[in-house]
Structure 1
């Protein structure tokens, strides 16, 4: 009678699977090494384009180094003094919402744009669409709350408004830091 489970029957599949895992891992690491700079450059270009969209009169931007309020991840000053752009993150109903907001030097919003979100399709996702987000255009720190919330998406609407509030708080900080 032949014994099952000899050392060769046990070790050989383990060695084969280990070699396969090592090869696949090495290939994934190589692909990451090759694509990482390309993805990073693409993200930088998309961010630069978004900054120009929300503050159209700007010629270029300089990063503002200041202590920013919660929810403001980055701040940029237009080189020609036309205003500031703020990168914002807030917690919506479905998770993080990433926004960008351009505030002109007179303290009014030129435009806000949603960069990414996980809000409920058809409800919270409407915060990323023009009828809602364009309500903020021309608003100031005193009037940004005078917008209509999206029916059935109160959490998403409130989160968007909270991000805009953070942008105005950051605006007050960075305009003083000239």
Structure 2
């Protein structure tokens, strides 16, 4: 009995030390991880809206209100041309092939036209579902208007991924229409 308690205590100490080390390393790296994620978002924003624009994350309080209504919303950015608000970029999570996460970033002008779309995160099959990142597919969304459901031709062999991306774009359209457009 004493041996069992001794082994349990040793196991508890090892587990507690391991958890402490993990907590410390998480605390040390979380800011860097957030910085890398933001840099990826900024790069995608520049691809969609162009280098000459400035991007500002939507006010945290307002973003939280939107997330309560639409849980798939990841981030929203205001896009500025000089001092003037010129549009919004909305990051949405949707499901792809095998229920994997797809993160799309859709840019809207203030009049509701899609400026561009990028699939910024995915784990789709290389050479099949990953084709959704190529301009041949992403450019199909450009110029579509947010006033109606957005559909484009799917990628042959990657129908589920294509529909997942369209779902993300349409969720972004919904957020734009219901929460951001005036």
Normalised by the length of structure 1, the TM-score is 0.76
Moved more, 9-18 or 34-43: 9-18
1:140, distance to aligned residue in structure 2 (A): 2.5
Structure 1: where are the runs of 5+ without partners? 1-6
Q: Does 1:63 align with 2:67?
A: no
1:139 aligns with 2:140: no
Note the 1:20-169 alignment, pairs <5 A. 20-56=14-50, 57-63=52-58, 65=62, 67=66, 70=70, 71-79=72-80, 80-94=84-98, 95-141=100-146, 144-145=150-151, 147-169=152-174
The CA distance in 1 between the partners of 2:46 and 2:88, in whole Å, is 11
- SS in structure 2 opposite 1:127? helix
Structure 2 contact 137–155 (Cα < 8 Å) conserved: yes
Q: How far apart in 2 are the matches of 1:43 and 1:163?
A: 19
Structure 2: stretches of 5+ with no match in the other structure: none
> Which of the two has greater helix per residue?
2
Q: Which residue of 2 aligns with 1:170?
A: 175
- TM-score normalised to structure 2 length: 0.75
| Displacement over 6 Å in runs of 4+ | none
**Shift in Å at residue 115 of structure 1?**
1.7
Number of aligned residues: 169
Is the 8 Å Cα contact of residues 119 and 156 (structure 1) preserved in structure 2? yes
Residue 152 to residue 81, structure 1, CA distance change in 2 (3 Å): same
